[in-house]
């Protein structure tokens, strides 16, 4: 099937029936003086049974403003009625309802790893692995959202789509402060993995590390075609870059293969030399390397990987030496592939992808509450601390008393209209007994400080012994629990969306309830 459209407006809208078999659609552009050139290719779920109506579950959006005045040709296997429903029009307003209040979710489609996280001129930029064409993984692109507080996000145009060299895998962002690569200091730079061979268009090509840049505050990207690092191993990926002032160089950490990572140095952001290939037990992909400060003002380096394994050690600008410790930042498996922001000088702030299963809505997955990292030394060992960012606490409001009721020794909170997220801070009583329990959004949670076991609906997690201070965040289906000021932390999926919380009143020495909109 072939559909020809004269591009007059800035966006193309394609009807999507989620869950259908994927079919390959190729997009070409031409004008009066040129032959048709392929510019895009996507695997899109298509309902081939439709003959008279084709409205879809939603419309996927593709920015095509740079092709205005040209003719676009869409070829592939799809019913004629679907082709007729593809629209070229101005940007449509998307009504976003029925979703978490303070955890970012895409308007539509599938999301995974956070990418390119950078702070500039009062705005936090979150890019993310994105498939706008289905609620399943495919067509890895870079979506884009912005926020002033890291809690309330606005999704903008998708900035990078797959091309003839591969799909757009994970990477990082940074400000071009030293005016390198021939760009100004206000240019935003993005390093990412071009995953060759992961789409039909790029068959036979390999994974390389590439650069894109933006001169309009991150709203649109221009790709640099030449890789800055060629293939080392088949699927080497996920570059993360920072400036190391002591040795006056940029440092890149990169996943190579298995449990192996590379450390690279550059003074010009173009030419990179690998100074170390290191093995870290159980660590895999999405690396990060950062210097943290504890309450006493002491500093320590930490190497991070996707599952939340972290390794304290020393870094001299060339080599990272693990001090023999390996810890896990999460007690649960829901958070993954967290990345820290660049462009923030005095704080290390992380956001993970939350691997939520689709529950019937038109988007899949969410992102965790932003947490600020520090560390604590306990019996000579270095443990990461993570707590919600201060912007979170600045927006907490005490719960109106009418929302709280007490009955037969129990305390209840209920908010079923999706207008707020719920937060509770408490100190557990030492006189209550061995097991503490809560009912939260249709789920049952328990904690035994003597065994350290936390359970949710019967599934067990090791949270650590004798934790007494708890902070609980409930937002739609998402439950986050911080034990002992972030010494232990877990994120979980609840059974229901409507917020309901109850507990025995005598479980806590004190308890405070808050809401956040």
Closest CA to 361 of 97, 38, 91: 97
Task: Kindly state whether residue 377 falls inside one of the protein's structural domains.
Answer: yes
> Which pLDDT value is given to residue 320?
98
The CATH number of whichever domain residue 335 belongs to comes to 2.115.10.20
Q: How many domains does the chain have?
A: 3
* pLDDT tens digit sequence for 256-298: 999 999 999 999 999 999 999 999 999 999 999 999 999 999 9
Together in a domain, 496 and 448: yes
Give the pLDDT confidence of 175-218 residue by residue, as tens digits.
999 999 999 999 999 999 999 999 999 999 999 999 999 999 99
User: Per-residue pLDDT tens for 7-66?
Assistant: 999 999 999 999 999 999 999 999 988 899 999 999 999 999 999 999 999 999 999 999
Query: What is the pLDDT averaged over residues 117-140?
Result: 98
Is the predicted pLDDT of residue 145 greater than 90, yes or no?
yes
Name the 3-class secondary structure at 403.
Answer: helix
Q: In the chain, pLDDT over 70 holds for what percent of residues? A: 100
Residues 116, 56 share a domain: no
Look at residue 104 and tell me if it is in a domain. no
Is 512 in contact with 398 (CB distance < 8 Å)?
yes
CB-based contact 440:474 (threshold 8 Å): yes
For 305-335, write each residue's pLDDT tens digit. 999 999 999 999 999 999 999 999 999 999 9
Q: What is the pLDDT at residue 510?
A: 94
With tokens 């399943």, the residue in question is: 136
In this structure, is residue 102 part of a structural domain? no
For residue 375, what pLDDT band results from cuts at 50, 70 and 90?
Answer: very high
Q: How far is CA 84 from CA 72, 74, 76, 178, 450, in A?
A: 14, 11, 14, 50, 64
| pTM score, whole prediction | 0.97
Give the CATH number, domain containing residue 71. 2.60.290
Q: 384 and 308, same structural domain?
A: yes
**CATH assignment of the domain containing 410:** 2.60.120.560
Looking at the structure, tell me whether residues 79 and 228 fall in a common domain.
no
Residue ending a domain, among 354, 375, 391, is: 391
Residues 369 and 401 in one domain: no
Instruction: Say if residue 377 is in the same domain as residue 400.
Output: no
C-alpha 145/C-alpha 167 separation (Å) is 20
Which of 344, 368, 391 is the C-terminal boundary of a domain?
Answer: 391
Domain end: 340, 368, 391, which one? 391
Confidence of residue 94 (pLDDT cuts 50, 70, 90): confident
**Parent domain of 459:** 396-516
84/137 same-domain check: no
CA dist 194 and 169 (Å) reads 6
**One domain for residues 450 and 321:** no
Is residue 192 assigned to a domain? Answer: yes
Is 314 a residue of the active site? Answer: no
Q: How confident is the model at residue 401 (pLDDT cuts 50, 70, 90)?
A: confident
Residues 196 and 257 in one domain: yes
> In a 3-state reduction of DSSP, which class is residue 36?
coil
> Edge-to-edge strands of the sheet including 410-415?
404-407, 410-415, 499-504, 436-440, 443-448, 453-456, 459-462
**Residue 229 shares a structural domain with residue 116:** yes
Contacts of 199 (CB under 8 A, 6+ apart): 41, 43, 139, 162, 166, 167
CA distance 451 to 447: 9
Q: Who's near 103: CB < 8 A, 6+ residues apart? A: 354, 366, 367, 368, 369, 475, 476, 478
**CA gap 376, 392 in Å, rounded:** 22
Regarding whether 213 and 134 lie in a shared domain, the answer is: yes
Query: Are residues 11 and 65 part of one domain?
Result: yes
> Which of 47, 113, 134, 475 is labelled catalytic?
113
């Amino acid at each position: 099937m072939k559909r020809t459209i004269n591009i007059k407006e800035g966006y193309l809208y394609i009807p999507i029936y989620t869950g259908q078999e994927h079919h390959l659609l190729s997009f070409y552009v031409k004008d009066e003086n040129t032959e048709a050139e392929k510019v895009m290719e996507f695997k899109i779920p298509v309902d081939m049974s439709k003959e008279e109506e084709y409205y879809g579950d939603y419309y996927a959006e593709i920015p095509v403003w740079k092709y205005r005045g040209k003719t676009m040709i869409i070829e592939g296997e799809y019913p004629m009625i679907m082709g007729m429903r593809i629209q070229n029009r101005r940007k449509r307003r998307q009504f976003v309802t029925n979703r978490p209040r303070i955890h970012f979710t895409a308007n539509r489609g599938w999301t995974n790893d956070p990418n390119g996280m950078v702070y500039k001129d009062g705005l936090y930029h979150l890019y993310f692995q994105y498939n706008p064409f289905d609620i399943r993984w495919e067509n890895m692109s870079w979506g884009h959202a912005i926020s002033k507080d890291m809690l309330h996000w606005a999704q903008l145009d998708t900035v990078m789509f797959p091309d003839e060299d591969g799909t757009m895998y994970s990477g990082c962002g940074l400000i071009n402060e030293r005016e390198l690569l021939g760009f100004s200091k206000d240019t935003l730079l993005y390093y990412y993995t071009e995953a060759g061979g992961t789409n039909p268009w790029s068959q036979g090509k390999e994974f390389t590390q590439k650069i894109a840049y933006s001169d309009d505050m991150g709203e649109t990207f221009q790709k640099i075609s030449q890789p800055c690092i060629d293939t080392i191993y088949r699927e080497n990926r996920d570059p993360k870059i920072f400036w190391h002032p002591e040795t006056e160089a940029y440092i890149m950490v990169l996943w190579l293969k298995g449990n192996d990572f590379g450390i690279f140095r550059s003074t010009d952001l173009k030419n990179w030399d690998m100074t170390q290939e290191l093995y870290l037990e159980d660590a895999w992909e999405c690396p990060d390397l950062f210097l943290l400060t504890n309450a006493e003002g002491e500093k320590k380096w930490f190497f991070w990987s996707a599952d939340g394994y972290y390794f304290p050690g020393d870094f001299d600008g060339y080599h990272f030496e693990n001090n023999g410790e390996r810890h896990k930042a999460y007690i649960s498996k829901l958070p993954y592939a967290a990345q820290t922001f660049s462009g923030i000088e005095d704080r290390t702030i992380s956001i993970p992808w939350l691997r939520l299963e689709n529950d019937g809505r038109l988007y899949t997955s969410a992102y965790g509450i932003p947490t600020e990292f520090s560390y604590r030394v306990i019996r000579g060992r270095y443990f990461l601390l993570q707590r919600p960012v201060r912007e979170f606490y600045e927006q907490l409001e005490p719960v109106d008393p009418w929302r709280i009721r007490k009955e037969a020794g129990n305390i209840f909170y209920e908010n079923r209209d999706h207008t707020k997220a719920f937060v509770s801070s408490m100190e557990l009583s030492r006189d209550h007994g061995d097991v503490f329990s809560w009912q939260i959004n249709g789920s049952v949670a328990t904690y035994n400080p003597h065994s350290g076991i936390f359970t949710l609906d019967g599934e067990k997690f090791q949270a650590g012994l004798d934790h007494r201070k708890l902070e609980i965040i409930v937002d739609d289906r998402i439950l986050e629990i911080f034990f002992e000021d972030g010494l232990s932390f877990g994120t979980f999926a609840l059974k229901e969306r409507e917020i309901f919380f109850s507990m025995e009143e005598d479980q806590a020495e004190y308890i405070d309830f808050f809401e956040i909109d």
